[in-house]
Amino acid sequence: MPDSTSTSAQRPTSLRIWLVVGLCLAYCVAIRVLPYVLTAMGTQAEWFTMNFPWSLTPILAVGLFAGATFRNPWVAGGLLLAALVASDLGIWAVSGHFNWAFYVGTPFNYLCMLATIGLGLTLRNDRSWIRPIGTGLMAALIFFVVTNFASWITLPEYTKDLSGLASCYVAAIPFFRNMMIGTVVGTVLLFNPVVLSLLLPGQSGEVAGNQSPSFGR
């Protein structure tokens, strides 16, 4: 006779979780492709390109949330990867430039994004806001360090010395700032106890008591 733990582990991920994660990922894809769509339509002014909030999306927070709430982390990772590929395919289709979407550093971007699923697994037994926010900021920092180091190595415009490495990181600071803002906002919204009580109604008592839940287990 199976015990309650194994029975709980076999329960499917809530449809509400699927809906929230799906909508968030759709939003992230749309925001990433939007500037290229406007350019293709001939309606994007230069000031828009210069002032567009690049990287200001909750994509890292969504990865953390999916890792923390999906019963199967492989499904969560597949969904996140599908959104990343969809956004790049959208950029390619709209712009006509394959190298704008898929370039040498793309695998590093994907790996860093997918790492958020693993980080999300560490949040399964924690419903406080502090730890998800801290984990999200750590994910943003990892993304910044790894992807820009890869850019420095692979892009010809940066000299392969300390000066070139510094220039690469300095140029990426605005994107890093936007990513941190999007991540903090995303984690505050997604890991809000009120939101979690609605998405995981079976554990509402634990939310009120601020006890440790079993998110995706």
Q: What secondary structure does DSSP assign to 147-203, as a single string?
A: HHHHHHHH-TTS-SSHHHHHHHHHHTHHHHHHHHHHHHHHHHHHT-HHHHHHH-GGG
Mean pLDDT of 102-113: 94
* pLDDT over 70 at 164, yes or no: yes
Who wins on pLDDT, 81 or 8? 81
User: What pLDDT is recorded for position 44?
Assistant: 62
pTM of the shown model:
0.84
pLDDT at site 201: 64
Q: Mean pLDDT over all residues of the chain?
A: 85
Q: Rounded to an integer, what distance in angstroms lies between the CA atom of residue 97 and that of residue 91?
A: 8
- The first and second tokens of residue 17, run together, are 């979780």
C-beta of residue 190 within 8 angstroms of C-beta of residue 65: yes
Res. 215: pLDDT tops 70: no
Q: How would residue 123 be classed by pLDDT, with cut points 50, 70 and 90?
A: very high
The CA-atom distances, in angstroms, between 178 and each of 2, 54, 161 are 47, 7, 27
- Across the range 68-80, mean pLDDT stands at 95
**CB atoms < 10 A from the CB of 92, how many?**
17
